[in-house]
Amino acid sequence: MAAIKAIIYSPKQLSKAQEDKIVKFLEGKYGEVVLTWVEDKTITSGFKLVAGSDIYDWTNEGRMKQLTSLIEKITPDSNIISILKETVDNFRPKILAEQVGKVVSVIDGVVTIKGLDEVKYSEIVVFASGVKGMIQHIEKDTCSCILFGSNEDASEGMEVYRTNKTAGIPVGENFLGRVVDALGNPLDDKGEIEAAGYLPIEQDAPAIIDRRPVNRPLETGILTIDSMFPIGKGQRELIIGDRQTGKTSIALDAILNQRGKDVICVYVSIGQKASSIAQLTETLRKANALDYTIIVSSFASDESSLQYIAPYAGTALAEYFMRKGRDVLIVYDDLSKHAVAYRTISLLLGRSPGREAYPGDVFYLHSRLLERSAQLSDALGGGSLTALPIVETQASDVSAYIPTNIISITDGQIFLESDLFNAGQRPAINIGLSVSRVGGDAQTKAVKKATGTLKLDLSQYREIEVFTQFASDLDQATKDQLAYGACLMQILKQGVHQPLKQYEEVITLVAALAKVFVKLPLKRVKECQLKLLSYFAKNCPLICSKLESERVLTPEIKEEIINNAKNFVESYIGE
């Protein structure tokens, strides 16, 4: 092994005894050492020793670092006398070591650094320009980091310093109602945000023993989802479909429906247009939903590094509230763009590409993110983190690499079909391909009982519809079933940003499954349903309040709903 070259910088040369002590120290740490002295008049006292990539600073500035470290120990509750006494008693003159690296190359936001021999994966480093980066690749003699800034912020030969910290984000109650970037910096015009703490963006998922079963409903206000594909607090339900099929609208409706339900919402935008985020923010503000929502945004114009860390940063913000016993809903919009950003970084880092040019660990990329969603045990406060990841497909191909990966990680998926969307069925949810693996455990007793055979009836309708589209002679039973199924499809249509209350969903389901709307022309079914709900709110407030508060559908209430609905529909037909 070659001898380590060490240089002493000082205003005057050290004595032979001093040099011997330094050589002995260096040989104990590095082995064979060649020591050289260099005169440095800028040092007023002490010396600076450079050995390889390590710097040992025993100048005035170096000693000031020790004093700063002492001051940082002092808090308002500290006993300053005891701290000073302990420091004096235990004082041993020592030299501080820090590693300084040099930039080798900068390519599209990825910086190669030489000299940081002891740096750790995911550690934050600081460049001489002040910009930060995160280590993502470590080799024998070099390491590479992603840059949280533009390429102009780093140049070849620039010094890079370790921080011994992993990437983190400031957190706290003051982030509610704000729009921030992936580093926690405000993007709105409301000034700086006073943080209550600082959390690493990468954290271990809760252990099995720290979780409890998912059995509390997270109501979206969307009839199709709450009745057939219920979402529980702590669940991960994927929203998947082609571009422009209403994926973001479903997630946004779920956020709007949490008003007054003591649920914190975090919306993570990955690679979206700035105009889209502005529009979404305005929608939340008008609906009085911004007060309980945090928007974490990485724009399409941002570097891949910021798009990569955005969902992890959003999850850290959400976990701050979950650890305090709160219920949190987080939306990732969307993980397809997140995977593309990670692929870009991995290719620039020189990692071997796999299927569709994605790196081999792309599955772990999303599994370690989504596994952080959980329903915590009562011992940990009973908080929950519910995830609604969004994935965009091409030509409804759910068998593509990223969609299949995320489908296997999540607890179900809501599949939005382009053909249904184009046919005017909104939300365009495909009943056959959508599923919730939590099922009825995440439904209230009222909704569960009211749903009945809805999914089975719709499945039979879709099957018969396919086989009878070319038939001209149908028996009456088949005609009745087709009419009933078409009526159900009309009932499930729902306007954007118009979530239903639970009692409205129960009344609609009970009336629809009792076939009270079948006699109506299809064009009038939706209008009749909305007027029926207004009728119940005005004339049957006791039924509505019981369903909303007790959340139980008794046979007496069910019979009363059917009778009132039949009377209303008959009067509606006569208008």
Residue 76 in any domain: the answer is yes
Mark which of 42, 68, 89 sits at the end of a domain.
Answer: 89
Judgement on whether residues 432 and 496 belong to the same structural domain of the protein: no
Residue type, 355: R
Whether residue 95 is predicted with pLDDT greater than 50 in this model: the reply is no
pLDDT at 456: 93
Mark which of 89, 122, 138 sits at the end of a domain.
Answer: 89
CB 112 within 8 A of CB 144: yes
Mean pLDDT of the chain: 88
Mean pLDDT score, 54-73: 62
User: Residue 265 contacts by C-beta under 8 Å, 6 or more apart in sequence?
Assistant: 255, 258, 289, 292, 293, 294, 328, 329, 330, 331
Sign, Cα dihedral of 407, 410, 415, 416: negative
Summarised one tens digit per residue, pLDDT across range 358-369 is 999 999 999 999
Q: Identify the active-site residue in 426, 437, 462, 524.
A: 437
Strand pairing partners for 269? 297, 333
Judgement on whether residues 127 and 179 belong to the same structural domain of the protein: no
Whether residue 310 is predicted with pLDDT greater than 90 in this model: the reply is yes
DSSP code per residue over 185-226: -B-SSS-----SEEEES--PPPPGGGB----SB---S-HHHH
Whether residue 242 is predicted with pLDDT greater than 90 in this model: the reply is yes
Range of the domain at 57: 4-89
Residue 283 in any domain: the answer is yes
Whether residue 204 is predicted with pLDDT greater than 90 in this model: the reply is yes
Tokens 């249904």 -> residue: 420
Residue 198 in any domain: the answer is no
pLDDT at 72: 56
Residue 314 in any domain: the answer is yes
pLDDT at 92: 41
Residue 568: which CATH number? 1.20.150.20
Residue 386 in any domain: the answer is yes
Residue 205 in any domain: the answer is no
- Work out the pLDDT band at 192, boundaries 50, 70, 90: very high
CA separation for the pair 550, 546 (Å, rounded)? 5
Mean pLDDT score, 183-210: 92
pLDDT at 93: 40
Catalytic annotation present for 524: no
Residue 58: which CATH number? 3.40.30
Judgement on whether residues 438 and 479 belong to the same structural domain of the protein: no
Specify the DSSP class assigned to residue 340: H
CA separation for the pair 204, 199 (Å, rounded)? 12
Judgement on whether residues 321 and 274 belong to the same structural domain of the protein: yes
- Name the pTM for this structure: 0.82
Residue 364 in any domain: the answer is yes
Judgement on whether residues 114 and 242 belong to the same structural domain of the protein: no
Mean pLDDT score, 518-545: 93
Q: How many domains does the structure of the chain reveal?
A: 4
Judgement on whether residues 498 and 562 belong to the same structural domain of the protein: yes
Judgement on whether residues 76 and 34 belong to the same structural domain of the protein: yes
Mean pLDDT score, 148-171: 88
Judgement on whether residues 179 and 290 belong to the same structural domain of the protein: yes
Tokens representing 555 are 């046979």
Whether residue 69 is predicted with pLDDT greater than 60 in this model: the reply is no
Judgement on whether residues 468 and 521 belong to the same structural domain of the protein: yes
Summarised one tens digit per residue, pLDDT across range 486-527 is 999 999 999 999 999 999 999 999 999 999 999 899 999 999
Judgement on whether residues 498 and 434 belong to the same structural domain of the protein: no
CA separation for the pair 28, 14 (Å, rounded)? 20
Residue 347 in any domain: the answer is yes
pLDDT at 106: 92
